[in-house]
Amino acid sequence: MSRELLRATISSTLSKASVKALDVAGVTLYVRGLTGAERVLLQKWAAEAQSGGEPVADYRIAALGLCDAEGVRLFEDEADVAKLDGAKLGVIAKAILDASGLTDSAAEAATGN
């Protein structure tokens, strides 16, 4: 396989977001795993929070991972998501972190435990 074909195969395979349907308050929402760049942003937020900055709030994670059924992000401005119900945002944020492989249960599933 040529290098170009290998790169194209990797790009097409890994660019597909891991979209999951999620029932929240009787409504089907879609969340997706975070991209590499979004994971770096999440790490930056965590570092800033440890230095006394804004916490990594559920609404910030939800803004990154709420999407349509095809995996296209719905919110560009996290301030729009910050106004939503906090308890429901917690459920959404956890689902996004799980879809991203960033929870204990996702790590266990990945290692086959």
**Strands ordered across the beta sheet of 19-24:** 19-24, 27-32, 66-67
Task: Answer yes or no: are the C-beta atoms of 33 and 65 closer than 8 Å.
Answer: yes
Question: Within a 10 A sphere around the Cβ of 107, how many other Cβ atoms?
Answer: 12
Task: Answer whether residue 100 shows pLDDT above 90.
Answer: yes
**Lowest model confidence (mean pLDDT) among 14-18, 56-60, 106-110:** 106-110
CA distance 24 to 54: 26
The β-bridge partners of 28 are 23
Task: Answer whether residue 38 shows pLDDT above 80.
Answer: yes
Q: Exposure of 34 by Cβ count < 10 A (0-12 exposed, 13-18 middle, 19+ buried)?
A: buried
The β-bridge partners of 23 are 28
pTM: 0.81
**Segment (H or E) for 19:** strand 19-24
The stretch 29-33 carries a mean pLDDT of 95
- What pLDDT sits at residue 27? 95
Cα 110-101-74 angle, rounded to 5 deg: 145
